[in-house]
Chain A
Amino acid sequence: MLEELFPNVIPEDLWEATLETFYMTSIAILGTLIFGILLGLLLFLTDSGNLWQNRFINFITATIVNVFRAIPFIILILLLFPFTDFLIGTIRGWKAALPALIFGAAPFYARLVEIGLKEIDKGVIEAAKTMGAKTHTIIFKVLLPESMPALISGLTVTGIALIGYTAIAGIIGAGGLGDLAYMKGFQRRDFDVVLACTILIIVIVFIFQYIGDTLSKLIDKR
């Protein structure tokens, strides 16, 4: 039955591509999480009226974030080739896609983090101050826990966008389902391969969405 519907699909290849997409996305999400939160915190804390209020740093950070968000992903990959070559030692394979994926997604996530942090009631931060809390206590015990549902749902959205990015990266040789769909499917006119890859990408997206929604709901005690 499956062989009739997908005559040109080699199950081993499909599985390997799925794993590659999964690794690529997972590690990119991890990197995006770390850099996105750092940037988001920096944007938030240096904003006027906040703990590290600093016009200059806020402006610099916002500019970097905006510039990287403005560059189309496909161009970002090309621009980052020298950097990727230096860092990873190659520009091919799924590992080589990571810098571009993280540079592309972290600024986007940073903005979502910033929005999440801005939604925290100012009074709660103030209450922590009246208790004599240090800044790092406020960050780790107030800002991050209080914005956690927003941080998670933001990461879900970003993660799903990242899956899309991995497919684009695949077209220029990053491996994964995008690569398979393009090289083995589109180029050879074997559209059943394209279809199989599409279905698997959709499944991965749904899994991410489900995990994200569940976590976010579980953690939200508001």
Chain B
Amino acid sequence: MIRIQNLSKVYKTNKQEIQAVDNVSLNIEQGEIFGVIGYSGAGKSTFVRLINRLEEPTDGSVVIHDKDITNMPKNQLRKKRQKIGMIFQHFNLLWSRTVYENIAFPLEIAGVPKTKQQEKVLELINLVGLSGKENAYPSQLSGGQKQRVGIARSLANDPEVLLCDEATSALDPETTDDILDLLVSINKKLGLTIILITHEMHVIQKICHRVAVMENGKVVETGDVLDVFVKPQSKTTKRFVQQLNPLEHEKDKLAEFINDREDSEVVKLHFIGKSAKRALISEVAKTFDVEINILQGSIAPTQEGAYGTLFIEINGEKEILKKTIEFMEDTGVEVEVLKHA
């Protein structure tokens, strides 16, 4: 449980003051994967660095497991940091140390005896799937492997929370997915709370339970990932959601299907959670005397269930069309009838 209250950070440079984080309050629950998304410069990195006090907050407080981080004396903070894991966009491994030695580093810092270190390091190497690479140097590893070392290292002292700042932004899409899968499995296996910073909606969609959207240092929207996806409130959030839905970009192509005829409608369907699994279209086709023409569709799985969009053209008598649409609405699917512009 992490309680963040009225957290603010102002950077003072020679000429100006930059409010990087502006009065942010959030509660992050034990065991959840909490995402923070925002465009570059939104203040995400500053926010996450305030959590382990790599930056001193200008105002507000961060309480992790009932311990206030913000007013802790330095030596106590050092101890506490051993319980706050962090992984980075550029991995930040020590090139002079092998995989084994990199993972042992936080244990050396914590003063764990050598024999215990070995046990822990080998267990972690196993957990992140790097067995056999113990004696490799970082320069001999791929980006994904480096991040696995970073993850193993961050877990060495059994942290209460893991902070990830753009942990997959330097990786190719496939490797990104592997690393995200690893984070989910660690979250499940260890019940570890994860706070994840990203500018990619796809990362949020894939592994987060809840999300906060940041803009100009402020949190402009928070909620369950699925809710935010389906009903984005702020403009920024809408843009992020659209980023993920390729159909949104291709709406123009649907224009020729949209008309004013009474016996034809173009409908956009939003499937959320369980309803995504329902064979709605064939159900409708069997029940009503309509012709259904599928124009475009996509589905995106999230941690809380799937989220899909489908564009269809329905042809039939006006009355039947009306009933069909009502039927679809009753099933819990969101229905939007697209009108001619």
Residues on A lying within 8 angstroms of B by beta carbon are: 121, 123-124, 126-134, 137, 141-142, 145-146, 148, 219, 221-222
* B94, CB-defined interface residue at 8 Å: yes
Complex Cα gap A132–B153 (Å): 13
Complex Cα gap A148–B96 (Å): 9
The stretch of B104-112, B120-128, B258-266 that contacts the partner chain: B104-112
The answer on a CB contact under 8 Å between A131 and B105 is yes
Complex Cα gap A142–B88 (Å): 17
Give the number of chain B interface residues (Cβ < 8 Å).
29
Tell me how far the C-beta of A135 lies from the nearest C-beta in chain B, rounded to whole angstroms: 10
The interface residues of chain A, by DSSP majority, are classed as helix
Of B54, B79, B95, B105, which one neighbours A221 at CB under 8 angstroms?
B95
* B117, CB-defined interface residue at 8 Å: no
* B40, CB-defined interface residue at 8 Å: no
B109 contacts across to A, CB distance below 8 A: 128, 131-134, 137
Which of A126, A128, A132, A145 counts the most B-chain CB atoms under 10 A from its CB?
A132
A127 contacts across to B, CB distance below 8 A: 86, 88, 92-93
A148 contacts across to B, CB distance below 8 A: 96
Of A121, A132, A133, A137, which one neighbours B92 at CB under 8 angstroms?
A121
B138 contacts across to A, CB distance below 8 A: 221
* B78, CB-defined interface residue at 8 Å: yes
Supposing A123-B88, A137-B109 touch, asked if A131 and B95 sit within 8 A by C-beta, the answer is no
Within B80-135, the residues touching A (CB, 8 Å) are: 80-82, 84-86, 88, 90, 92-97, 105-106, 108-110
Tell me how far the C-beta of A118 lies from the nearest C-beta in chain B, rounded to whole angstroms: 16
9 nearest CB pairs, A to B: A127-B92, A123-B92, A132-B81, A132-B78, A221-B137, A131-B106, A145-B96, A132-B82, A130-B86
- Residue of A with least CB distance to B137: A221
The answer on a CB contact under 8 Å between B93 and A124 is yes
Supposing A132-B82, A222-B139 touch, asked if A126 and B54 sit within 8 A by C-beta, the answer is yes
The answer on a CB contact under 8 Å between A146 and B82 is no
A132 contacts across to B, CB distance below 8 A: 77-82, 106, 109-110
* B198, CB-defined interface residue at 8 Å: no
Within B146-163, the residues touching A (CB, 8 Å) are: 153, 157
B80 contacts across to A, CB distance below 8 A: 132
The answer on a CB contact under 8 Å between B94 and A130 is no
Complex Cα gap A127–B88 (Å): 8
A sample of 28 inter-chain contacts (CB < 8 A) reads A121-B90, A123-B90, A124-B93, A124-B94, A126-B92, A127-B88, A127-B92, A128-B105, A130-B54, A130-B84, A131-B82, A131-B105, A132-B77, A132-B78, A132-B79, A132-B82, A132-B110, A133-B78, A134-B78, A137-B108, A142-B94, A146-B94, A146-B95, A146-B96, A148-B96, A221-B139, A222-B95, A222-B139
Of B52, B97, B108, B137, which one neighbours A130 at CB under 8 angstroms?
B52
Tell me how far the C-beta of B99 lies from the nearest C-beta in chain A, rounded to whole angstroms: 12
Supposing A126-B54, A141-B105, A141-B108 touch, asked if A131 and B94 sit within 8 A by C-beta, the answer is no
The answer on a CB contact under 8 Å between B82 and A145 is no
The answer on a CB contact under 8 Å between A221 and B106 is no
Within B7-43, the residues touching A (CB, 8 Å) are: none
A121 contacts across to B, CB distance below 8 A: 90, 92
Within B276-318, the residues touching A (CB, 8 Å) are: none
Complex Cα gap A128–B84 (Å): 12
- Residue of A with least CB distance to B97: A145
Q: A146-B94, A222-B139 are in contact. List 8 more A-B contacts (CB 8 A).
A: A126-B54, A127-B88, A128-B109, A130-B54, A130-B86, A131-B81, A132-B109, A145-B94
Complex Cα gap A10–B224 (Å): 90
B78 contacts across to A, CB distance below 8 A: 132-134
A146 contacts across to B, CB distance below 8 A: 94-96
